[in-house]
Homo-oligomer: A and B are copies of this chain.
Amino acid sequence: MLDFTFYNPTKVLFGKDTIGQIGSQIAQLGYKRVLLMAGGGSIKTNGVYETVSESLRLADISVTEFWGIQPNPTLERVRDAIDDALAEEVDAILAVGGGSVIDSAKAVAAGVYFDDVWTAFEAAKPIEQALPIFVVLTLSATGSEANGTAVVTHEGENKKWPIKGPALSPKVSIIDPSVQKHLPSRQTVNGAVDTLSHLMEFYFLGTTQESTIATNESLMRTVIGCMDVLYADPLNYTARSNLAWSSTLALNGVAGASLRGGDWCTHLLEHAISALFTTVAHAEGLAVMFPAWIRASWEQNPDQFLRWARNVWHADTVEQGIQNMQAHYEKWGAPITLGDIGIKSRDIPALVENVMQRGEPGNLWKLSARDVEAVFRLAL
């Protein structure tokens, strides 16, 4: 195994009817004034907002609400929320939502300590100071509920970039899978694809880390099994809860231990897509790009890609593994080609340029601009 650090200080409360504990969890740690950040209002129809508000009221915590965080969250909204956090002198940030809300909350938590929060994204240095972050998760996908990373889009510059650091790990995250049962099918599928993509970003770097590789592989099989149940039976709590927990484990350090921090090339390719085509969901871009990246990459570490094909997709070749994966994606309703998400051959030069802004992507192997273009073309 290669050396690594495993550090995951987030306390996760997982299960039915756990959301009502959010107030006491925040109060126990001594915080009294929170900025509650949320999305477009779905938490008002599924009961989550009411439960959270009541819990905060009972714990005597004052609340400022900030609504309207969208998928592919923007720097602009983060800046507005930072203004509110400073004006209201909050001492903690509470994200109630999915990855976009959590990532925005992290950017706000760090941003109150910067003159301009975007300088933190440009500096690409570990975030050491931030307001404490609490999470009530309503969509399992990004794993952001249990790690120290956030991704935000600067629309003016078409940049979708990350910040990372120990201060960004939530103090407490509450995951009640039962509130996800009424999600639109597309969001459940996106969550599963996102989770599989996170697992793959680590997995393909595998060499001697059997303990991590075997764990990662078992999580991929679990996600596929759960999704095969859920696309037909979205109310199945066993599948819903196992998908949710797998999604957290995919990106809390367990599934990536000793795997060189992961590859992340495919995520960088996708970030260009959702930076330029803001209506494309992150996971839709990943569903389209991962098969293309695998086709272009498998000869860099052939034994590991073949192991993936065999152990995850019951295939005898990498190509057959990819096809089995795409057959599942198609069955679940995920897109398969760039065309499926409205991207054409003529859009590729702009995508390549966006990707190359931060240099050659990839860790398993570094892709030149020409390589990146080739991968996009494989996804057409």
Contacts and interface: CB of A to CB of B under 8 A. Distances in A.
A228 to B, nearest CB: 12
Contacts of A11: 5-7, 9
Contacts of A3: 14-16, 18
B214 A218 contact: yes
A254 B254 contact: yes
A46 interface: no
Interface size class on chain A is: 35 or more
Interface in A1-39: 1-16, 18
Contact of A219 (B15, B215, B257): B215
Interface in A203-224: 208-212, 214-215, 217-219, 221-222
A352 interface: no
A226 interface: yes
Contacts of A257: 14, 245
A1 B222 contact: no
A72 interface: no
Given A208-B238, A211-B242, A226-B210, A6 B12 contact: yes
Interface of A: 1-16, 18, 177, 208-212, 214-215, 217-219, 221-222, 225-226, 238, 241-242, 245-246, 249, 254, 257-258
